[in-house]
Structure 1
């Protein structure tokens, strides 16, 4: 699939999210929190993110992780001088201490951990516009996560957070795409994907 087709797919998925009523979004966020609580290992390190806009979930999922004894790391987006994406740096989540970063994203304040910190996580939560039954994730198209996941623990669970209708049969994939091991949706809960090398 060409980048033009991927762009059109992203636009359709974003539009579909924009028409989800606020009360449905809030109810789905609570369901996602309940499912997340089932996969947390106390004392584990989890790389998460703060959902923005129409992304499934809410910041309360980070609090659920903390309540279950997880250490939560959040991404810090950086770019090259030419505005190309660099691997994400990470910072510890502390409620009430997030600051607005680039693109208006909520991020932990400095000091940050190096990009290799993702390797400490046994669970990595990833934003996605869609994911297919082989674990191929369609992100926003900037490549931050694909660059960052090269540093992951090979045994880490990679969990895409999507709405139920965003789990699709097949998505286009590129050689650099890192496949998800799982997805989480409000109604279906945790979905496991076949392991692929």
Structure 2
């Protein structure tokens, strides 16, 4: 059974996201793109694994396109049965197809769940993060499993709205921490 504190925090975060005006969400995506494309680690031609935003998540679609145009090798997740994430390359907007739940996934060759191990950085979704790196996802655990595979020098940032950096996120043994966050107004904050 899910931790009731996690469930309540998740419900509040999702409600707050739904209440954000579309213009604010779009502006957040532009600010996140601008901040991260100024980060040399992400734009020097290495590999970056990024979630492709859906719904009211902070927009990462503009970021994915900008990184790809910079020559960064961008990996996007592909949901496998059982909740594992596989990874495939983003090769422009025509390389994506609908995958259910509003998600778009790359259609090219898949590189396996361990492909994230070679990434210089992983940009993952979250509903809330605390300054110790505790991350609250949607509850399926797919990113916790993926983050357990990252290399020891991989920078892991959660992409959130400014209000989602909170005092404390309840964590359990299977939860994987992040190294920092990127928000529209604060930019990159490392812990």
TM-score normalised by the shorter chain: which range applies?
over 0.9
SS in 1 for 2:12: helix
- Deviation (angstroms), 1:178: 1.2
1:89 to 86, 89, 114: 86
Unaligned runs of 5+ in 2: none
TM-score, normalised with respect to structure 2: 0.93
- For each residue in 1:43-67, what CA deviation from the matched residue of structure 2 results, as whole angstroms up to 9, or x when unmatched? 1100001111100124111011112
Q: How does 1:36-51 map to 2 (within 5 A)?
A: 36-39=36-39, 40-51=42-53
| 8 Å contact from structure 1 (residues 77, 102) kept in 2 | no
- For each residue in 1:134-192, what CA deviation from the matched residue of structure 2 results, as whole angstroms up to 9, or x when unmatched? 01110001000111122211110001000001001111111121111110000000001
- Deviation (angstroms), 1:41: 3.6
- Residue 111 of structure 1 is matched in structure 2 by 109
- For each residue in 1:3-48, what CA deviation from the matched residue of structure 2 results, as whole angstroms up to 9, or x when unmatched? 2221121111000000111111111111111111122241110000
Q: CA RMSD in A?
A: 1.2
Q: Which runs of 4+ in 1 moved over 2 A?
A: none
Count of matched residue positions in the alignment of Structure 1 and Structure 2: 187
Matched residues in 2 for 1:177 and 1:26: separation? 29
- Residue 64 of structure 1 is matched in structure 2 by 66
- Deviation (angstroms), 1:110: 4.2
Tell me, yes or no, if structure 1 residue 123 matches structure 2 residue 125.
no
TM-score, normalised with respect to structure 1: 0.91
- For each residue in 1:84-105, what CA deviation from the matched residue of structure 2 results, as whole angstroms up to 9, or x when unmatched? x2x2100000112201114231
